[in-house]
Each structure stands twice: as C-alpha cells, then as structure tokens.
Amino acid sequence: MPVQPSAPISLSLPRRSPLFFRFTFHFLLFTFHFSLLTLLLACASQRPSEVTPQARATREIAPKVGLALGGGGARGFAEIGVLRVLEQERIPVDLAVGTSVGSLIGALYCDTGRVLDAEFQAVAVTEEDIFDYKALAILSGGLVKGERLEEFLNTHLKHKTIETMTVPFAAVAVDLMAGRAVAFERGSAAQAVHASAAIPGVFVPVEFGGRLYVDGGVLDPVPVDFARQKGAEVVIAVCIPPGPPAARPGNPVEVALQSVALMSAEMGAIKAKAADVVITPDVGGVPFDDFTQKKRLIDAGEAAARQALPAIRAVLANKAKRVPVEGAP
C-alpha cells in the first residue's frame, strides 16, 4: 500500500493581542533603565570621597600697648603704682610717652623696662632734686634752673639718650616760639625731661637747638595723641586729678604751681578721653609739691590700675589679631 503523505504541520504561533506587546515593551524598557541606574549608582559609590580642606593654623598677635603718662607734680608718683600692676599682670608696655612728671616716671621706667628699677629711683627723688631755686634765675624767666633735675637723671639713668632706652620713650614739651607741643624721641633724656617739666613761671624755659621749651602740660597734659603717633594700638592713659593745696598759697611759686595744676588737670581730663582706658588714681589731698607721701601715692596708683584691669583686658582681647602661621599646611 502506497504511503500517504502526512498532513502538513502548522508552525504558526498563536496570535497575541497588541496589549501583550505593549506590556512587554514597557517591561523591557523599565528593566533597561533600572539596570542602567543600578550601574551608575555602583560607579558613583566607588568614586573617592571629597577631602574637606583643613583650616590653616593661626596665631594671635597682641596689639601694641602705649602708656600716656600725665603730669601732676608730686602726685604723679602714683604712676609707679600703675606700672607695677601692669608688670605683675604681664600686660606688656611697648612704649611710653610722658608729660611733665609723667616724662620723669616714663624715663625712669623705659631706661631698663623694669618697674623695680624705676620705683627705686623714683623713691630717691627729693624736692631739692626738682626745685633748685636760684636767686638770679628770675631774670631768665623763672625761679628754678632745673640743673639739679638734669644732674639727677644723668647720674641715675643707665641710658643717657632716649633712642638707646630699653622701651621706646618720648617726652612732651611745648615749643614757645612755635606755640605747639613736641615730642622728644632722640637726644639727651635728661634735657628732654627737664624741658617737659619746666613749669612756666617756676622753671626757667629750657633752651636748646635755638628753641625755648616749657612744660608739656601747657598744651598736652596727657599725651594720648603722641602715643598713637608712635604706633600704639591700645593707649592706657594715666590722668592725675587736681588736689587742693595743703595751705593757702603764700608765694608766687605756690600760686603758679597750684594754677598750673588746676589748668593741666582740667585739660588732661579732656585729652585722656581719646585713650582706650583711662586710669585716675585717687591721690586725695596730697599737694602738688609734697614729695613725702610717695608710698601713699604709689599705692593709690596700684589700686586704680587694679580696678581698670577688666577694661584693659577687654580692649586687648578686642584688638588682638589672628594671622596664619608661616609654613603651616
């Protein structure tokens, strides 16, 4: 029997609906995007983390401190007490400018930069070292020549010229011819202090360099301005208040001393307002020309300075600067 060919086998797939193909397309597209996102996240996780730069090391620079030491006759010895406290509290004094007795105290301190030396010399000063009355001095414009003052300084100062002193110093006097205050920053320390303390009508005006000089307190009793000019960023002023005379002034010298003291104290209080800190010792009833109460005056200066310490420290902290340390990463 002949073999009959079998019926052809149909290879056609069952028909799918359009919805099936659309679903399949979106599924594959989703799978592709998901795989791509997973790959990108994996790569991102392998990137090196960013390094946060470290802050540069810095150091603090303290502001330059200057003292403006005012006049006040014998009462100015209170300024030794102020210097004592600053040294004990390790508050550096980078420069000092003084007027009248302030120039004397300033020179004694700046000579070595040690308060003990200045105090020892200041205690040794007597009224005779300041007021060497000469009968014929009146013919030269005063009663006191001031030669003993220069002699005392030339004997006791280790550095005879201002520019060689341990701490930068200036003495303020008034140029009578020019009618202005000047600061001596070079030359003879004794002569500069003499000029700064030459009270008009009492001391003979000091002449050198073709100029006449009298007490700096006439125009600048508390030399804050000159301390700024010398580079002080913080100025501590010592302002000596006026005191009543021990008795009614009985001669021209006493009248002149008390008059100058009152005038300088009033003007000094105004000038001192330009300082960062003002220290006003309570010198009470110590007369302008009383050189016998130095211990009391020094103690008064010390007490006033201790009261001012919070204000001094606040100003120093406020004006301190921070600068990068050289060579630091």
* Cα distance between residue 239 and residue 266, in whole Å: 10
Which pair of tokens denotes residue 288?
């302008």
pLDDT of residue 229: 96
Which pair of tokens denotes residue 133?
């009355």
Which pair of tokens denotes residue 37?
């996102």
Place of tokens 């010298």: 253
Which one from 94, 100, 188, 276 is the annotated catalytic residue? 100
Could you list the pLDDT tens digit for every one of the 329 residues in the chain? 454 444 554 445 455 555 555 556 555 555 655 565 566 566 655 555 555 556 678 788 899 999 999 998 889 999 999 999 999 999 999 999 999 999 999 999 999 999 999 999 998 888 777 775 543 333 344 467 788 899 999 999 999 999 999 999 999 999 999 999 999 999 999 999 999 999 887 888 899 889 999 999 999 999 999 999 999 999 999 999 876 666 676 666 667 666 766 777 777 778 888 999 999 999 988 887 788 899 999 999 999 999 999 999 999 999 998 778 776 55
pLDDT of residue 140: 42
Q: What angle do CA 228, 229, 232 make, to 5 degrees?
A: 40
Which one from 132, 215, 225, 289 is the annotated catalytic residue? 215
* Cα distance between residue 201 and residue 149, in whole Å: 17
* Cα distance between residue 308 and residue 303, in whole Å: 9
CB 205 within 8 A of CB 142: yes
SS3 assignment, position 212: strand
* Cα distance between residue 128 and residue 149, in whole Å: 9
pLDDT of residue 76: 93
Burial class (CB in 10 A: 0-12, 13-18, 19+), 14: exposed
Look up 196 and say whether it is catalytic: no
Residues facing residue 98 across a β-bridge: 69, 171
CB 144 within 8 A of CB 206: no
Look up 100 and say whether it is catalytic: yes
* Cα distance between residue 296 and residue 290, in whole Å: 11
pLDDT of residue 19: 54
pLDDT of residue 24: 61
Amino acid found at 301: G
* Cα distance between residue 81 and residue 295, in whole Å: 9
Within a 13 Å sphere around the CA of 279, how many CA atoms are in the beta-carbon half?
Answer: 31
